[in-house]
Amino acid sequence: MSHITTHILDASTGRPASDVGVVLSAITGVSALAETPGAVLAHGTTDTDGRLAIGPDALDPGDYSLTFLTGEYFARTGTRTFHPFISVTFSVDVADGSPQHLHVPLLLSPFAYSTYRGS
Protein backbone atom coordinates (compact mmCIF):
# COMPACT_ATOMS: atom_id res chain seq x y z
CA MET A 1 0.00 0.00 0.00
CA SER A 2 1.17 3.50 -0.69
CA HIS A 3 2.21 5.53 2.31
CA ILE A 4 -0.29 8.30 1.42
CA THR A 5 -3.93 7.88 0.38
CA THR A 6 -6.70 10.39 -0.16
CA HIS A 7 -10.42 10.42 -0.81
CA ILE A 8 -12.28 13.47 -2.13
CA LEU A 9 -16.01 13.96 -1.63
CA ASP A 10 -17.78 16.81 -3.45
CA ALA A 11 -20.16 18.05 -0.75
CA SER A 12 -22.09 20.16 -3.27
CA THR A 13 -23.19 17.04 -5.15
CA GLY A 14 -22.85 14.41 -2.42
CA ARG A 15 -20.69 12.33 -4.77
CA PRO A 16 -17.02 11.36 -4.98
CA ALA A 17 -14.86 13.82 -6.93
CA SER A 18 -13.36 11.75 -9.72
CA ASP A 19 -10.50 12.68 -12.03
CA VAL A 20 -9.06 15.33 -9.69
CA GLY A 21 -5.34 15.88 -10.14
CA VAL A 22 -3.23 15.52 -6.99
CA VAL A 23 0.47 16.34 -6.56
CA LEU A 24 2.63 15.11 -3.65
CA SER A 25 5.63 17.33 -2.89
CA ALA A 26 8.29 17.55 -0.23
CA ILE A 27 8.55 20.82 1.71
CA THR A 28 12.15 21.98 1.90
CA GLY A 29 11.69 24.89 4.28
CA VAL A 30 9.04 26.55 6.36
CA SER A 31 9.09 30.07 7.72
CA ALA A 32 6.49 32.04 9.64
CA LEU A 33 5.27 33.50 6.34
CA ALA A 34 5.49 30.74 3.75
CA GLU A 35 6.44 27.20 2.89
CA THR A 36 8.99 26.38 0.21
CA PRO A 37 7.88 23.50 -1.99
CA GLY A 38 10.59 21.03 -2.87
CA ALA A 39 10.66 18.22 -5.36
CA VAL A 40 7.48 16.74 -6.75
CA LEU A 41 7.49 13.15 -5.54
CA ALA A 42 4.38 11.83 -7.28
CA HIS A 43 1.21 12.88 -9.05
CA GLY A 44 -1.99 11.17 -10.07
CA THR A 45 -5.75 11.53 -10.39
CA THR A 46 -8.59 10.25 -8.25
CA ASP A 47 -10.55 7.25 -9.50
CA THR A 48 -14.32 7.08 -10.02
CA ASP A 49 -14.76 6.68 -6.24
CA GLY A 50 -12.66 9.82 -5.58
CA ARG A 51 -9.76 7.77 -4.18
CA LEU A 52 -6.03 7.82 -4.88
CA ALA A 53 -2.99 6.07 -3.42
CA ILE A 54 -0.02 8.30 -4.16
CA GLY A 55 3.70 8.23 -3.59
CA PRO A 56 6.22 5.64 -2.54
CA ASP A 57 5.72 2.85 -0.02
CA ALA A 58 7.46 5.00 2.60
CA LEU A 59 8.37 8.65 3.06
CA ASP A 60 11.21 9.94 5.18
CA PRO A 61 10.25 11.95 8.24
CA GLY A 62 9.62 15.56 7.28
CA ASP A 63 7.06 17.95 5.88
CA TYR A 64 5.04 17.31 2.71
CA SER A 65 2.11 18.74 0.81
CA LEU A 66 -0.73 17.35 -1.25
CA THR A 67 -1.97 19.84 -3.83
CA PHE A 68 -5.46 19.15 -5.16
CA LEU A 69 -6.17 20.69 -8.59
CA THR A 70 -9.74 21.65 -7.74
CA GLY A 71 -10.06 24.45 -10.30
CA GLU A 72 -9.71 21.99 -13.17
CA TYR A 73 -12.29 19.70 -11.56
CA PHE A 74 -14.88 22.46 -11.11
CA ALA A 75 -14.19 23.88 -14.60
CA ARG A 76 -15.14 20.49 -16.08
CA THR A 77 -18.45 20.61 -14.22
CA GLY A 78 -19.12 24.25 -15.21
CA THR A 79 -19.00 25.34 -11.56
CA ARG A 80 -17.42 28.57 -10.36
CA THR A 81 -15.01 28.08 -7.48
CA PHE A 82 -13.05 30.23 -5.07
CA HIS A 83 -10.21 27.68 -4.74
CA PRO A 84 -8.29 26.94 -7.97
CA PHE A 85 -6.18 24.52 -5.97
CA ILE A 86 -5.94 23.39 -2.36
CA SER A 87 -2.62 22.65 -0.72
CA VAL A 88 -2.68 20.55 2.44
CA THR A 89 0.60 20.40 4.32
CA PHE A 90 1.39 17.69 6.84
CA SER A 91 4.27 16.10 8.71
CA VAL A 92 5.45 12.51 8.44
CA ASP A 93 6.74 11.02 11.66
CA VAL A 94 8.17 7.54 11.99
CA ALA A 95 6.90 5.88 15.16
CA ASP A 96 8.86 2.91 16.50
CA GLY A 97 11.02 2.78 13.36
CA SER A 98 8.26 1.87 10.90
CA PRO A 99 6.46 4.23 8.52
CA GLN A 100 2.80 4.96 9.16
CA HIS A 101 0.07 4.92 6.54
CA LEU A 102 -1.41 8.42 6.25
CA HIS A 103 -4.88 9.11 4.89
CA VAL A 104 -5.67 12.71 3.94
CA PRO A 105 -9.36 13.05 2.97
CA LEU A 106 -10.81 16.21 1.45
CA LEU A 107 -14.43 17.33 1.78
CA LEU A 108 -14.87 19.79 -1.07
CA SER A 109 -17.37 22.41 -2.20
CA PRO A 110 -16.93 25.34 -4.61
CA PHE A 111 -16.32 27.86 -1.83
CA ALA A 112 -15.07 25.81 1.14
CA TYR A 113 -13.17 22.69 2.07
CA SER A 114 -12.29 20.61 5.10
CA THR A 115 -9.62 18.02 5.74
CA TYR A 116 -8.34 15.92 8.63
CA ARG A 117 -5.96 13.08 9.46
CA GLY A 118 -7.89 10.00 8.47
CA SER A 119 -7.14 6.36 9.15
Q: In the prediction, which pLDDT does 101 show?
A: 82
CATH no. for 4-115: 2.60.40.180
pTM of the model: 0.88
Contact 9, 107 (CB under 8 A): yes
Long-range CB contacts (within 8 A, 24+) of 75-80? 76/19, 79/12, 79/110, 80/110
The residue extents of the domains of the chain are: 4-115
Contact 48, 60 (CB under 8 A): no
pLDDT in tens, 21-71: 999 999 876 654 555 567 899 999 999 999 999 988 888 888 899 999 999
pLDDT in tens, 61-116: 888 999 999 999 999 999 999 999 999 998 887 665 556 788 999 999 999 999 99
Q: Which alpha helices (H) appear in the chain, and where do they start and end?
A: 70-77
